[in-house]
């Protein structure tokens, strides 16, 4: 299942507070169809998961994973990358059996 790193959970909690969203609000990771067979990943804040979403939590941040991306992201982690331009969310590959 898609994991959330400590840094990503912290960054998302700060973004949620900055937008004035309740602490119970999580993030939803979903697929957006692109041309051909490609699928782009979308992330948005959501108060509740969709009916078929997988649900996980890290440090108080709930993550709702849509079925169309659950399998492709099963060995991935949502992390942050800090650059001079700011902080961005990135997907990384988990180490087999590794802890986030």
Q: What is the pLDDT of residue 96?
A: 59
Domain 3-93: top CATH class: mainly beta
46-96 pLDDT, tens digit each: 999 999 999 999 888 999 999 999 999 999 999 999 999 999 999 998 765
Domain boundaries, the chain: 3-93
Q: What is the pLDDT of residue 97?
A: 55
C-beta atoms surrounding 27 within 10 Å: 21
- Rounded to two decimals, what is the model's pTM? 0.85
Q: What is the pLDDT of residue 7?
A: 94
Strands (E), the chain: 3-4, 26-33, 39-46, 54-58, 61-65, 76-83, 86-93
């Amino acid at each position: 299942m898609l994991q959330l790193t400590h840094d990503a959970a912290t960054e998302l909690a700060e973004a949620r507070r900055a937008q004035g969203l309740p602490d119970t609000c999580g993030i939803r990771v979903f697929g957006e169809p692109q041309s051909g067979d490609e699928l782009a990943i979308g992330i948005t804040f959501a108060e509740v998961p969709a009916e078929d979403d997988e649900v996980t939590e890290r440090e108080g941040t709930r993550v709702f994973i849509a079925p169309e991306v659950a399998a492709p992201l099963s060995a991935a982690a949502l992390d942050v990358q800090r650059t001079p331009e700011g902080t961005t969310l990135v997907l990384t590959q988990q180490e087999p059996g590794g802890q986030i």
